[in-house]
Amino acid sequence: MTSERRQEPEERSGTVWQRFAVEYAFPVCFTRDLFATDNPLLRDTLARPEPDGRHRFVVFVDGGVLEALPDLATRIAAYADAHAGTLQLLGEPVTMPGGEAIKSELHFIEQMQGVLVERHVDRHSYVVGIGGGALLDAVGLVAATSHRGIRHVRVPTTVLSQNDSGVGVKNGVNLFGQKNYVGTFAPPFAVLNDHDFITALPARDKIAGMAEAVKVALIRDGEFFDWLERHADDLAAFDETAMRYMIERCAELHMHQIGRGGDPFESGSARPLDYGHWSAHRLETLTRYHLRHGEAVAIGVALDARYSVASGLLEAGADERVCRLLERLGFRLWHPALAMRDADGAHELMRGLVDFREHLGGELTITLLEGLGQGVEVHEMDAALVVRCIEWLARRAGTAADATVATATDTSVGGTRR
């Protein structure tokens, strides 16, 4: 037998690279009446990895969903009983606050993690979140950080969560006044969309979710933008056929970017799917989330469409076309927060560019438009020009709001954080 001489530490040199690739796939399903006992989708989804055996799951439900559908918890329990050979519901569904409330305090994260401990949820069990995007963000964070990762099934109940956030790979909650400061990149195990939840939504929430469809059409699919224009009246009336197509096509475009865009976990500086979001996130904060996310995105989309025209990237008149579509869908493109100033007289909205850059680090990268359906990345925004675009929105809205700002020596915002 031979043995290799062991090197002393000072004799060792070089670097050993550890490399591996992990393929990940998850289904995004569209159905009706998910918890009908004769609908096998949920049962088959949870049984997918191990067809034999009994699959344990815990459910967190958005309180707003339960208000609209008070029999939902009973239906979930009945579904589990009907498939008792395959499923085991671990206790009653747990009601959690919806909207930004659940993302505003880490207390709710700890509360949900406590439920998982009490009910002995392990890595082969499932955490099912039923609700809007905010609840899914929070439940996803709980699932990703408990036992270093528990299978998470999303059941989005809003237009916004079915056509955008529900199919993404991000989870998070707000902290230190910054949106999604605490979070993870962790893909779900599955996404199960039930159109019946959409029919139960208040009109305001139906409208809010359409902003993401306009956004993704503007940066990725001009034909879809044309379709949105042709069917704007149907969408404004919540026609079921139009709503379903809008949601599914929007989800497809988001999935294509995440899966094939080359940077699903945002390791670079670009965030192409966040067109219009640098100002939208700031508006949400300034209004203490009285503006829905989609409502803020609609304003941000309009603002950046105008900036694209004003900076010479986009043809004249295209900004009006974008605004008219958003208004036909039911959005208002002005909010007093756009004109808010800080103690030094500077526009509060401009802080959004700093926050946007700091969230990823490195060079500021903003997606603008060079065509209706074609996004382009820029690395600098002229602050004075942004203010003129705010003034343009104010004039369109017929408001006398003061949207002026003192001229600065350097009016650009961009570059690398130092």
Residue 5, number of CB atoms within 10 A of its CB: 6
Instruction: Yes or no: say if 212 and 247 are a contact pair by the CB < 8 Å rule.
Output: no
Instruction: Give 46-63 pLDDT, tens digit per residue.
Output: 999 888 889 999 999 999
Looking at residue 125, what DSSP letter applies?
S
Please state which architecture CATH assigns to domain 28-201: 3-Layer(aba) Sandwich (3.40)
Maximum Cα interatomic distance, the chain, rounded to a whole number of Å: 91
- Interval 63-80 mean pLDDT: 96
Cα-Cα-Cα-Cα dihedral sign, residues 324, 326, 332, 336: negative
Instruction: Give 199-245 pLDDT, tens digit per residue.
Output: 999 999 999 999 999 999 999 999 999 999 999 999 999 999 999 99
Question: pLDDT value at position 6?
Answer: 60
Question: pLDDT value at position 355?
Answer: 84
CA 367/CA 389 separation, integer angstroms: 16
Question: pLDDT value at position 403?
Answer: 41
Residue 180 identity (one-letter amino acid) = N
Instruction: Yes or no: say if 265 and 185 are a contact pair by the CB < 8 Å rule.
Output: yes
CATH number of 262-414: 1.20.1090.10
CA 225/CA 315 separation, integer angstroms: 16
CA 209/CA 330 separation, integer angstroms: 11
**How sure is the predictor about 405, in pLDDT bands with cuts at 50, 70 and 90?**
very low
3-state secondary structure of 158: coil
Q: Which two tokens stand for residue 11?
A: 């004799």
Percent of the chain with pLDDT over 70: 89
Instruction: Give 83-129 pLDDT, tens digit per residue.
Output: 999 999 999 999 999 988 899 889 999 999 999 999 999 999 999 99
Cα-Cα-Cα-Cα dihedral sign, residues 47, 50, 54, 55: negative
Say how many CA atoms lie within 13 Å of 317 toward its Cβ: 0
pLDDT of residue 408 exceeding 60, the answer is: no
CA 129/CA 61 separation, integer angstroms: 6
- Interval 133-140 mean pLDDT: 95
Question: pLDDT value at position 409?
Answer: 34
Instruction: Give 7-19 pLDDT, tens digit per residue.
Output: 565 666 789 999 9
Question: pLDDT value at position 187?
Answer: 93
Closest CA to 300 of 399, 225, 386: 386
DSSP notation for 42-77? HHHHHTSS-SSS-EEEEEEEEHHHHHH-TTHHHHHH
Q: Which two tokens stand for residue 332?
A: 């208002």
All structural domains of the chain with their residue ranges: 28-201, 262-414
Residue where the block lists tokens 């079915």 = 162
Please, what is the average pLDDT of the chain? 90
